[in-house]
Amino acid sequence: MALPVMAQQLIQSLVSLIDNFMVAGLGDAKMASVNVANQVNFVYFVLMFTLSGAGGVYMSQYRGAGDEEGMQQAYRFKAIMTMLLSIAYFAVCQLIPETLIGLMTIGNTARDEIIPLAAQYMRTVSWFFVPMGLSQAIGSAFREIGRPKVPLVISVGATLINTFLNWVFIYGSLGAPKLEVLGAALATNIARGAELAAFIVYVKAAKAPFYVPFARLLKARWPLFIEILRKSGLMVLSEASWVVSETVTTALYNGRGGAEVVAGMVAGWAIANVFFLVFTGIHVSTGVIVGGALGADRLDEARDKARWMMGGSVVAGAVLGLLQTASLLAVPFVFMNLTPHAMEITRGLLIVISVYLPLWALLNAQFAVSRAGGDMMMGVAVDVGVTYGAFIPGAFALALLTPIGPVNMYAIVKLTDFLKWAVAKRWLKKERWVVNLAKPAAA
């Protein structure tokens, strides 16, 4: 179940790495501008994935119960909420991108060069956020009903298109105009349009059990819609607190120098994202396997599978941590156009992330288990409580009271993740997640 999902994540991460390689050829400042914009967009992406995931909890359980109409209701929630969020964020990107980029580059010596380029990128790339929301709803639904190869194949096609068009538009290849940063945004938009078209064609041809045509999207079972929305509110609060904290601390790191700091940290994350495939694989497979067992009312089986997933996640995280350490050898070749200081930052960040990977994989599995049974409150206790009680205060203390660099800042404040693990472990023992959500809804 996890392998096709991880393969899809691997391909997307490799393409992201290639994108960063191509933009890095334009210099530190232009690479920094694209990636600061994407740091802001990251908040939107996380919220979109979270709303889609809230519907996915019900999708997996209805699939386990064999309830096709329930699956369609879960899909309606996913599609409606992801598109509404996309419309709202599109308006933000069109109206105030300079303000958002300015907040992310306070104290950075190259901010006057970064802000206009990043704002241009945000305005352009936001035009296809609404289609991307619908693609997310369809693609994630296929994974939740146990057919992860479908989004894998379509994602491969879309990412190949994106990579090819980056080469064409960023550098003006094949007679195209050399658009640089704007070209990266244009390539992304075309790829997203192709991805949505492929999903719609396939989902209709395959007669997927969850799918309803766009014209019937609003014929929702509204009491169930409100129930999912109520539960997802806690899930959104949890993820929003996490992503806001990550964005705030990223802004603090960005203020530790100039464009070379932003470029170096971004290059490190571009490589690390290749190995973060373990998180998506764990989360999706746990939701399908544990959620399916809960929906079928096999509660003891769900408990056993949850324990196995959490134990296996630590092993998977450790293996990928070792592989990521070996990737340090590739930094001078992949990011040869970065300055030596930027490359030094990249290497340091990769070492820190490698050490934390087993812990993060376990945390991811703990969250996936709790959400498989509709227990969204654990995320609030862990993310809101620990993040704003320890992580954020620690980050600001280091930024304001010490001269240490961005990598050391990150390594120190992430020690709070051990506290997250302890809180989540204690919470899961209460078994509030051992719930069949499909049974009361179908009654």
Lookup result for tokens 């994989």? 361
What is the Cα 280 distance to its own chain's centre? 9
- How distant, in Å, are the alpha carbons of 41, 92, 255, 296 from that of 98? 13, 10, 17, 50
- Is residue 14 very low, low, confident or very high in pLDDT (cuts 50, 70, 90)? low
In this structure, which long-range contacts are made by residues 352-357, counting pairs with CB atoms below 8 Å and at least 24 apart in sequence?
352/407, 352/410, 352/411, 352/414, 353/268, 353/272, 353/275, 353/324, 354/321, 354/322, 354/324, 354/325, 355/321, 356/321, 356/414, 356/417, 357/275, 357/278, 357/317, 357/318, 357/320, 357/321, 357/324
Q: Measured between alpha carbons, how far is 159 from 200 in angstroms, rounded to an integer?
A: 17
Q: Is the dihedral of CA 395, 398, 403, 408 positive or negative?
A: negative
pLDDT at 388 over 80: yes
* 32-44: pLDDT as tens digits: 788 788 878 888 8
pLDDT at 197 over 80: yes
SS3 59: helix
pLDDT at 58 over 80: yes
pLDDT above 90 covers a percentage of the chain that reads 31
- How distant, in Å, are the alpha carbons of 68, 87, 108, 165, 201 from that of 111? 52, 28, 5, 28, 44
Q: Mark 25-50 as b/e (b = at least 16 C-beta within 10 Å).
A: bbbbbbbbbbbbbbbbbebbebbbbb
pLDDT for the residue 18: 65
pLDDT for the residue 82: 93
pLDDT for the residue 13: 61
pLDDT at 80 over 90: yes
pLDDT at 371 over 80: yes
pLDDT at 420 over 70: yes
User: 252 near 265, Cβ under 8 Å?
Assistant: no
pLDDT at 17 over 70: no
The structure's pTM equals 0.72
Q: What residue spans of 255-298 are helical by DSSP H?
A: 259-275, 277-295
Q: Measured between alpha carbons, how far is 259 from 354 in angstroms, rounded to an integer?
A: 24
pLDDT at 425 over 50: yes
Tokens describing residue 128: 């296809």
- Is residue 61 very low, low, confident or very high in pLDDT (cuts 50, 70, 90)? confident
pLDDT at 427 over 90: yes
pLDDT for the residue 1: 63
Tokens describing residue 116: 């206009």
The amino acid at residue 180 is E
Q: Is the dihedral of CA 334, 335, 337, 341 positive or negative?
A: negative
- Is residue 442 very low, low, confident or very high in pLDDT (cuts 50, 70, 90)? very low
Mean pLDDT for the chain overall: 85
* 253-297: pLDDT as tens digits: 877 877 788 778 878 887 887 788 778 778 778 877 888 888 888
* 310-344: pLDDT as tens digits: 998 999 899 989 999 998 888 888 777 778 888 89
Tokens describing residue 442: 């179908």
Among 2-16, 44-58, 159-173, 423-437, which is the least confidently predicted range? 2-16
